Structure 1
Amino acid sequence: MDDPSSLTQGDPWFQDGNIILVSRDESGSSELPERPPVGFRVHRGVLSRHSEVLRDMFELPQPDTMYDNDNDASRYEGCQVITMYDIPIELSNLVKALYDGVTFHNRSVDDFFYLAGILRLSTKYVISHLRTQAIKHLTQTWSYDLKGHDNMLDLAIRTPQLSYSSDPNTPSKLSYPYIHPIHVLNLARSTNVRIVVPSALYFLSLYPLTDLLRADHPKLQVAHPSKPSSSLQPSDLVNYTLICTNGTGRTCTRNFQRLGMRLASSWVVRTGPFNFIGQTMSQVSQNTEGFCAACRGDFATDVGAFRQKFWDDLPAVCGLPAWDVMREEELS
């Protein structure tokens, strides 16, 4: 039997609660120190109302491994004890979201890790409304339409870099949206969220493969218990290669040629070809001296159509259904 004194009271801990969830993180992460079990004293009816999975867990007999000074080893201070194999901070955030609701932000990398924990556990315990809210917030950055993609890039260009480091002696500068596409991609894969995969893979294709294999980007070095894997999975390495081959290379050679080296040399690589195409179209449309009206019109039509088609084809390159199919299945 475990020592009751080793149980840390977590947040929330309601004195009138009738069930205690004891979180035991067995993720085996070597980046963070091992911590004692954390307990959350909550109300069985509140959690059962939101999740049939949790309700069924509460009805199962628990193993004789927990705390108490009476004869029932599955109780503590008169409350039923349930062992949860989840990261304590993620379980805490999930429970508080069930009581108080949830609000997502994108002010720092910590906001992403908060969302990752909510999405991971709402998927695990089939809490549909929290899962849908998390997916919708993800798509505000990792968009399923071209307008959202353009808005995100515009915000990324205008947003100053943010200092972040677990070690104050080695500050890191993180650019918006503060998280690496690999983390978004691996979170999406682990929670079966397909609608953000093409966008994450597209932004991933802007990174050289050697950089991804080294995994030394500052955004990959941030330590947090909710951080998804920083490794590129073999199947996504294939998708990464397909996008690099079928997308960005042809875009630069076929559609930017009319503007020549002057415009090509001004390309900010991290914003990607979608943004560069949009900027190029804008410059061509305004250059009344260098291009006749017919050429400007043809360029806007052809390049705009290619830009839209490239975006529409991203899910297929990643082996996924069309954007509207995923939107209907995952956001309706």
Structure 2
Amino acid sequence: MLGPLTSATRRSDSNEEQLESLGATCAANATGRLVRSAIWMPYGDIVIQAECTQFRVNKDILATHSNVFRDLFEIPQPEWHPDSDEESEIVEGCSVVLLTDAGRDWENFLAVLYGDPFSPKNALDFDLLAALLRLGKKYEITRAKEDALWRIRHEFPRDFRAFNELDADLTKIKYRKGIYADLLHLAYECEIYSSLPLLAFCCLRSDSLETILSGIPRDDGSRVTLPNELRYILAIAHERMILFQHKTLAWLRDGSVVPHSQCASSARCEQQRITMAKIVDDDHCSQGRFNLGYMIDQWDHRWTGMMCPLCEISATAVYERGREKGWELLPSFLGLTNWQELDDVI
């Protein structure tokens, strides 16, 4: 069995923590019996164990994708003999590497590695995305990490123009209930700070603050429970976003923008503006929560054609300025620095 690694195995100081984390902890803590994964390669030459699950895989495949495993496998290992007394350290003639990761992460990651790896055409479910990101980061598996990062950054960009070009639905990550909260937690955990503002906004737009604080239900009946620090950040951001949106939509409640000074049907356009304001109020009531969609989302298609062209152009311009300002201030609502200085640490 490959046990805790010594300093001689470390390629550089930056790898010290990753290499040390390969030490044996799983076997000592496991209370249930070991389970053999479906990922059991008949010609595999190494067994990795995460929690109580073992996987028989190929060293060369792991080493090709991971600098950390390549360093590990370069360490000379004692030759195993069938009559060895160390039966618990050998499985079918293969040395065992004990890992401190979740078995589910390795199950998902290896399924990709031995299947159709890193295909940008396929939308990934959250569990697989999280496995690629966590294990890719920890074991320096560049392709896995970069694929996961690309998907998150694509769906939740830092650039306003990229945000405007997004599809209405997720395209690179599979949608399900609670997905935004799970992604927010993952991005926070992995220090993908550039995606945090938009993810936080999506959480607050999709679910009430009460639901977020008590736990957001997933499709399978489980709940997303965010850490206290994230719940605190969202609670503060929620209040700030409400105040901002209320201010930027003030033109719906007064005559500062509509009707336009040169409007030929001012009475009609004024009445339509009041109707538009009622649409916003009805959204709040029908959803049972404050609808933040008017803060940075694009012009409501239900408003199109309600006013004369002159008033609509004027109203659209004011609305767009509000959106741009909302995007600019979005990180500050969470207590973060501005977009330009919001760099990922991963």
Q: Report how far residue 265 of structure 1 moved.
A: 3.5
How many correspondences in the alignment?
279
**Whole-angstrom distance in 1 between the partners of 2:59 and 2:37:** 16
Q: Calculate the TM-score normalised by the size of structure 1.
A: 0.69
**Whole-angstrom distance in 2 between the partners of 1:213 and 1:69:** 58
Show the counterpart of 2:113.
Answer: 98
Show the counterpart of 1:138.
Answer: 152
Does 2:282 match 1:255? no
Q: Deviations over 1:228-251 (max 9, x none)?
A: x83333332343233223223331
Does 2:71 match 1:51? no
Q: Deviations over 1:148-197 (max 9, x none)?
A: 656767338xxxxxxxxxxxxxxxxxx95433433222111222222221
Structure 2 residue identity aligned to 1:71: D
Show the counterpart of 2:19.
Answer: none
Name which of 232, 239, 244 aligns with 2:238: 244
Is the Cα contact below 8 Å between 2:157 and 2:198 reproduced in 1? Answer: yes
Show the counterpart of 1:278.
Answer: 298
Q: Report how far residue 51 of structure 1 moved.
A: 1.2
Q: Tell me the secondary structure at the aligned position of residue 83 of structure 1.
A: strand
**Whole-angstrom distance in 2 between the partners of 1:61 and 1:213:** 51
Q: Report how far residue 59 of structure 1 moved.
A: 5.3
| Structure 2 gaps, min length 5 | 2-26, 28-32, 253-272
Show the counterpart of 1:203.
Answer: 202
Distance 1:80 1:191, change over 3 A: same
Show the counterpart of 1:169.
Answer: none
Distance 1:220 1:15, change over 3 A: closer
Show the counterpart of 1:317.
Answer: 333
Q: Deviations over 1:88-138 (max 9, x none)?
A: 23212223433441347558xxx1122122222212212122112112222
Does 2:97 match 1:82? yes
**Whole-angstrom distance in 2 between the partners of 1:150 and 1:88:** 38
**Whole-angstrom distance in 2 between the partners of 1:212 and 1:257:** 31
- CA-based RMSD of the aligned residues comes to 3.6
Q: Report how far residue 203 of structure 1 moved.
A: 2.3
Show the counterpart of 1:128.
Answer: 142
Show the counterpart of 2:212.
Answer: 212
Q: Calculate the TM-score normalised by the size of structure 2.
A: 0.66
Distance 1:243 1:275, change over 3 A: closer
Aligned counterparts, 1:285-304, within 5 A: 286-289=305-308, 293=310, 295-304=311-320
Structure 1 residue identity aligned to 2:240: N
Structure 1 residue identity aligned to 2:133: L
**Whole-angstrom distance in 1 between the partners of 2:297 and 2:282:** 12
Q: Tell me the secondary structure at the aligned position of residue 278 of structure 1.
A: coil
Show the counterpart of 1:181.
Answer: 180
Q: Deviations over 1:196-222 (max 9, x none)?
A: 21112112334433322322x422874
**Greater CA drift, 15-24 or 234-243:** 234-243
Is the Cα contact below 8 Å between 1:277 and 1:303 reproduced in 2? Answer: no
| Structure 1 gaps, min length 5 | 25-36, 63-67, 157-174, 224-228
Name which of 50, 55, 59 aligns with 1:23: 50
Structure 2 residue identity aligned to 1:250: F
Structure 1 residue identity aligned to 2:314: D
**Whole-angstrom distance in 1 between the partners of 2:175 and 2:36:** 35
Show the counterpart of 1:171.
Answer: none
Give the greater-gyration-radius structure (CA): 2
**Whole-angstrom distance in 1 between the partners of 2:297 and 2:109:** 41
Q: Report how far residue 307 of structure 1 moved.
A: 0.2
Distance 1:232 1:9, change over 3 A: closer
Q: Tell me the secondary structure at the aligned position of residue 182 of structure 1.
A: helix
Q: Report how far residue 266 of structure 1 moved.
A: 4.2
Q: Which has the higher contact order (CA 8 A, sep 6+)?
A: 1
Q: Report how far residue 310 of structure 1 moved.
A: 0.9
Structure 2 residue identity aligned to 1:298: S
Q: Report how far residue 40 of structure 1 moved.
A: 1.4
**Whole-angstrom distance in 2 between the partners of 1:253 and 1:319:** 20
Percent pairwise identity: 20
**Whole-angstrom distance in 2 between the partners of 1:18 and 1:304:** 60
Q: Deviations over 1:35-76 (max 9, x none)?
A: xx32211111221121122233445699xxxxx862345322
Structure 2 residue identity aligned to 1:209: L
Distance 1:106 1:266, change over 3 A: farther
Distance 1:256 1:129, change over 3 A: farther
